[in-house]
Amino acid sequence: MAKRGGIRILDGNHAAAQGAKLSRVQVIAAYPITPQSPVTERLSEFVEKGELDAQYVAVESEHSALAVCTSASTVGARTFTATSSHGLAYMHEMLHWAAGARLPVVLACVNRAIGAPWNVLNDQQDSVSQRDTGWIQIYARNNQEILDSIIQAYKIAESVYVPVMVCYDGFVLSHTEMPVNVPSQEDVDRFLPPYTPHTILDPANPRNYNLVTFANPRVNAEGVLCHGYMELRYLLQEALQNSRETIIKVGQEFGEVFGRSYSNTLWTDRLDDADTIIVAMGSLVMEATVAADTLREAGHKVGVLGLRVFRPFPKADVVKALEKSRLIVVFDKNISYGLEGATCSEIKSALYGSSLRAAIRNFIVGLGGRDVKARELVDAVNRSLASVKEGDLTREYPEWICAI
């Protein structure tokens, strides 16, 4: 049985720091950026007080933060970093490197808009823009999920040797306090075994990691054919593809120890009889639930599908969750310029080849911290319902909930 966890009132950043601490991270490297800064402040405090036995490296940039983590991870340490927005963009090169080197770094991304122009408030453009770097991406709806996801992230990352990004909305969660069940260290230790690295750095057994690698396989000094660059990239994709199983399993085990199960890639709300499904990611899922309440009261059969895991994209789960829908309304706090919201594209891609012929509408919302009100979501769904009656299956471009 689980030890009784303590309910504490924590903001999202504190929940993230607690998650890292409970995971017994050994090396932390981070650079301050709004709205992530309190995560690193809190962790440095844990280390200075002696509550956390870790190396805290106050680096001079996010690029260096992740470089510290990748090299420390190569040595065999459990590593943590956190950032937002421009910081994540600045890490871009190292994000690729961490995934390519198959290092189980865990990163908390406190979602924030990217300039120009300057904006420190929330949207998800930062992490969504990094979806092709080979990281697993998990989005939290609330502060409990931030803490729980970070602990799970280590178990996932260290099982499949793929780095994991835990994303949560800046200010909406990072600076908003709510009750969080903080598990006991004993239970977390029971859930999360120490990290077993796949890398060896030892003069008695010297290895040279991530040398220049040919496109084609090449024979080593003993005559054994070794992978080329292309094969290594295939293996990363295969690891991501197969990681869904690990994510579910780890979520299940988490539930067994802590009583909060995460054996899912999606959050579903009232999908059983829903013909209209709202899709969202992060804290917006909670707002969508409020919108669904209003729409239900008005007699519409509305459900909510929240994306918990964005990479690997849970195609089969999404198709199954949407199978009864006639209308799918996707709200994106990001935009792939010149196309549409990224999650909308992914949903459309997942549905290709299925028998589902639902209409899809995409709304871009909440960029740069623009408040997203439940009634705006309701209006958007109502507008979409009206358009479906006219037999309009899809639109070329998304609609924007803004003043233009």
Partner 1 sequence: MKANAVNLTEKEYLLQGNRTCPGCALSLAYRHILKALEGQVIVTVPPSCLTVLHGMYPITSVTVPCVNTPFASAAASATGLLAGLKALGREGLTVVAVAGDGGTHDIGLQALSAAAERQTDFLYICYDNEGYMNTGNQRSGSTPLGAISGTTPILGKQQIPKDIAAIMEAHGIPYVATANASYPLDLYEKVKKAGAIRGTRFIHVFSPCPPGWSFPFNNTIIIGKLAVETGWVILYEVEDGVFRLTSASESIAKKGDLKPLREYLVEQGRFKSITEQQIEALQRWVNARWKRCLDRADKSPHSVH
Residues that bind partner 1 (CB under 8 A): 26-27, 29, 54-55, 57-61, 63-65, 67-77, 79, 93-94, 97, 200-203, 206-214, 218-221, 224, 226
Burial label, 281 (beta-carbon count in 10 A; 0-12, 13-18, 19+): buried
Q: With respect to partner 1, which residue has the nearer C-beta, 68 or 328?
A: 68
Q: How far is the CB of 94 from partner 1 (least distance, A)?
A: 6
Q: With respect to partner 1, which residue has the nearer C-beta, 75 or 316?
A: 75
Q: With respect to partner 1, which residue has the nearer C-beta, 63 or 395?
A: 63
- Strand residue runs (E) in 74-186: 79-83, 106-111, 136-139, 164-169, 178-182
Q: How far is the CB of 62 from partner 1 (least distance, A)?
A: 10
Q: With respect to partner 1, which residue has the nearer C-beta, 205 or 355?
A: 205
Q: With respect to partner 1, which residue has the nearer C-beta, 202 or 396?
A: 202
Identify the H or E element spanning 351: helix 342-351
Q: With respect to partner 1, which residue has the nearer C-beta, 48 or 392?
A: 48
Max intra-chain CA distance, the chain: 72
Tell me if 100 sits within 8 A of 240, measured CB to CB.
no
Q: With respect to partner 1, which residue has the nearer C-beta, 215 or 316?
A: 215
Determine the Cα angle at 330 with ends 325 and 332, to 5°. 165
Tell me if 147 sits within 8 A of 15, measured CB to CB.
yes
Q: How far, in Å, CA of 29 to CA of 44, rounded?
A: 10
Q: With respect to partner 1, which residue has the nearer C-beta, 216 or 242?
A: 216
Tell me if 19 sits within 8 A of 183, measured CB to CB.
no
Q: How far, in Å, CA of 295 to CA of 285, rounded?
A: 15
Q: How far, in Å, CA of 167 to CA of 13, rounded?
A: 11
The set of residues, in sequence order, having a beta carbon less than 8 Å from that of 365 and lying 6+ positions away, is: 284, 331, 332, 333, 372, 376, 377, 400, 401
φ and ψ at residue 16, rounded to 5 degrees? -65, -45
Q: How far is the CB of 192 from partner 1 (least distance, A)?
A: 16
Q: How far is the CB of 66 from partner 1 (least distance, A)?
A: 8
Identify the H or E element spanning 267: strand 266-269
Q: How far is the CB of 89 from partner 1 (least distance, A)?
A: 14
Q: How far, in Å, CA of 195 to CA of 78, rounded?
A: 7
Q: How far is the CB of 101 from partner 1 (least distance, A)?
A: 9
CB atoms within 10 A of CB 263: 14
Q: How far is the CB of 99 from partner 1 (least distance, A)?
A: 13
Q: How far is the CB of 132 from partner 1 (least distance, A)?
A: 17
b/e burial code for range 163-192 (CB count within 10 A of at least 16 → b): bbbbbbbbbbbbbeeeebbbbeeebbeebb
Q: With respect to partner 1, which residue has the nearer C-beta, 59 or 257?
A: 59
Q: With respect to partner 1, which residue has the nearer C-beta, 227 or 373?
A: 227
Q: How far is the CB of 226 from partner 1 (least distance, A)?
A: 4
Residue 367 is classified by DSSP as: G
